[in-house]
Amino acid sequence: KMSEGSEVMTKADIKPKSVHRAKTWSDDVENLYRFQQAGYRDEVEYKQVKQVDEVECWPETGFVKKLQRRDNTFYYYNRQRECEDKDVRKVKVYVY
């Protein structure tokens, strides 16, 4: 999970060491899909750009609930899975 050390990570501009594409759906892939739809790599980049400590999530599922794009419009997401099987391989998984 990305939550450990995220306080430290937002201070500097952290770049991923490597990237690969998701092969199977998971909770993490679902959230990455949501960040990438809104125009960010992942939670780390979102927090850096938007200077926020927390991302709003659905308490039931832990999925991202809403994100602010770079042009300040908001994306709102359902509490259920949104990333369909055909879209899983489009999701990029970044390794730090």
Residue 4 lies in a domain: no
Residue 18 lies in a domain: no
**Rounded Cα distance, 81 and 87, in Å:** 12
3-state secondary structure of 56: coil
- Residues 6+ positions from 6 with CB-CB distance below 8 Å: 43, 44, 47
Q: What is the pLDDT along the chain (96 residues), one digit of tens a residue?
A: 444 444 444 445 778 899 999 999 999 999 999 999 999 999 999 999 999 999 999 999 999 999 999 999 999 999 999 999 999 999 999 999
Domain extent at residue 37: 24-95
CB of 79 closer than 8 Å to CB of 61 = yes
Asked if residue 44 is part of any domain, the answer here is: yes
Is 67 inside any structural domain? Answer: yes
Q: Residue 36 domain-assigned?
A: yes
46 is a domain residue: yes
Domain count, the chain: 1
In a domain, 6, yes or no: no
Query: Among 83, 84, 66, which residue's Cα sits nearest to residue 75?
Result: 66
